[in-house]
A and B are shown apart, each in its own frame.
Chain A
């Protein structure tokens, strides 16, 4: 069984985000790392391929400046190869363009039995790309999957709902998006990290994939205003001396909620 995982390489979430003053879009020019949210998909893909007794895990990604640092992390975990779409013309792409580009990258890899993505990225979090990709590729999908197995060539997943969860069955090929915490991502071994350096990543442009228009021209949206929200004022901050629980109780009492 072959699985393709969509991985996003994002600015380190530990550093504060910033907007590019010219375009009012997120700055993505520094060092990029593998989005934590995608480590779950990579791990799940590796486990499903293991369980199937054969096959491989490949990656697709879209990032500026030929960045592969985040993809190398996923390759170090055990993915075997990847396609990176890197193209200045893709700067400013909206989610729909991104979905079309990633779908084309999936096709360049010859498709797969299963495509896995996170439910949303940690930096832009539009949260529509996986389902848009499924529609572009004409595939069935199970979004917000929190438990996944393949039985007799059929995908069986528990899908998060407002009220609880649904059991869903879906024939392959299919696309799923997985929630965080769904599996425990492995740490890359030293051997894995060394091996990842020589694993093939095919870097292509949007044009190579036959996708256009991309970037600003294709976005269909434009940031027109950036404003500071009304700041919330800090209140009283006190060190616990063993009695501060009284303050909490008094605060709740004051609000008449107890």
Chain B
């Protein structure tokens, strides 16, 4: 089928569209000239940038007044579709809000979802999404078999965000219908966790720690090295599960996907679930005691050694520069 109408679930952070939103708009406009952004919030200040990256129109709900976006934006999308719009494809970012909106919408429309995708391909009558599995060693292509709209969620950095120099998107106000009991959850306070360095999924250098650090206090070494390199600290699932660091540090299949210039894996063996989140890094340095650790199979520089001995020396050498 021809793809004539693509929607992108758009997100705004600190007054600007997120990088993920711009990535999806860039992909969307390669499929059709008719790209619509759907935003849970106010679009007045972002319509320019959304248009520049390919959106011709933006449906904006206005302030959600504490409602969680999952319920509210999905209901708004359904109302627009009930009003006669017919999106062929709806693109979501694979993140907290993207997943919620997509899930709620999939039930409302009774449509299947494809998640963790890195690309979507339209070939004749077939629309298919590509997903890496088994730590990224295998790429699976899955085609939709039912009728549109097709719902797909993409990992960060699946596409490069490129401006098309388009005119500002036309803002269309849309209202969130009454969501009843399902919409009863309310945000009562917002906490921004101050982080001095770059964000994990945007950092040019990531230093990540794993179980090989031995105990939670030793994660300080990882943080210190990350700071020295002006990078971000990350973690394997094992130490997130163990409660050493918050979930937001997790790199991997169930955490953040990172593609920095340099990824330093300290005491990380390289479980499949971790590798899928970092193997796109340009350069990988691994330090691990076990020379059989799978991480060495993808590292550009592998040090078979004790992180407690190697990391402090690296830190000292960098401090002395």
Enumerate chain A interface residues (CB-CB to B < 8 A): 13, 16-17, 19, 24, 36-37, 94-96, 99, 119-120, 122, 125-132, 134-136, 138-144, 146, 158-171, 174, 179-181, 184, 219-229, 231-232, 234-240, 242, 244-249, 251-252, 255, 257-258
Whether the pair B112, A255 counts as a contact (CB closer than 8 A) is no
Residue of B nearest to A155 (CB): B185
Whether the pair A160, B247 counts as a contact (CB closer than 8 A) is yes
Bound Cα distance from A184 to B242, whole angstroms? 8
Whether the pair B191, A238 counts as a contact (CB closer than 8 A) is no
Q: Work out how many contacts link A and B, with CB atoms closer than 8 A.
A: 273
Whether the pair B106, A245 counts as a contact (CB closer than 8 A) is no
Known: A135-B182, A168-B186. A227 touches B141 (CB 8 A): yes
Does B181 sit at the interface, judged by CB under 8 A? yes
Interface of A is mostly: mixed
Contacts of A235 in B (CB 8 A): 299-302
Contacts of B133 in A (CB 8 A): 17
Does B241 sit at the interface, judged by CB under 8 A? yes
Bound Cα distance from A64 to B70, whole angstroms? 31
Task: Name B304's contact: one of A160, A220, A237 (CB within 8 Å).
Answer: A237
Task: Name A228's contact: one of B139, B145, B272, B317 (CB within 8 Å).
Answer: B139
Whether the pair B143, A169 counts as a contact (CB closer than 8 A) is no
Whether the pair B140, A226 counts as a contact (CB closer than 8 A) is yes
Given contacts A146-B247, A167-B190, A225-B140, 7 further A-B contacts (CB under 8 A): A94-B112, A99-B103, A131-B103, A180-B237, A219-B145, A244-B310, A251-B283
Of the four ranges (under 10, 10 to 19, 20 to 34, 35 or more), the interface on chain B belongs to 35 or more
Whether the pair A240, B303 counts as a contact (CB closer than 8 A) is yes
Bound Cα distance from A225 to B144, whole angstroms? 13
The residue in A228, A237, A258 that gathers the most chain B C-beta atoms within 10 A of its C-beta is A237
Contacts of A126 in B (CB 8 A): 113, 115-116
Contacts of A251 in B (CB 8 A): 283, 285, 300-301
Sample of 17 A–B contacts (CB below 8 Å)? A17-B272, A94-B113, A96-B111, A122-B273, A128-B103, A140-B185, A143-B70, A166-B189, A170-B185, A181-B247, A219-B145, A222-B145, A223-B142, A224-B126, A234-B298, A245-B314, A257-B204
Whether the pair B309, A240 counts as a contact (CB closer than 8 A) is yes
Task: Name A96's contact: one of B18, B70, B110 (CB within 8 Å).
Answer: B110
Residue of B nearest to A13 (CB): B273
Contacts of B126 in A (CB 8 A): 224
Bound Cα distance from A164 to B40, whole angstroms? 19
Whether the pair A229, B136 counts as a contact (CB closer than 8 A) is yes
Task: Name B68's contact: one of A129, A142, A160, A224 (CB within 8 Å).
Answer: A142
Bound Cα distance from A250 to B178, whole angstroms? 61
Whether the pair A184, B243 counts as a contact (CB closer than 8 A) is yes
Whether the pair B261, A255 counts as a contact (CB closer than 8 A) is yes
What's the minimum C-beta distance from A162 to chain B, rounded to whole angstroms?
A: 7
Contacts of B143 in A (CB 8 A): 221-224
Whether the pair A257, B229 counts as a contact (CB closer than 8 A) is yes
Contacts of A146 in B (CB 8 A): 246-247
Whether the pair A224, B128 counts as a contact (CB closer than 8 A) is yes
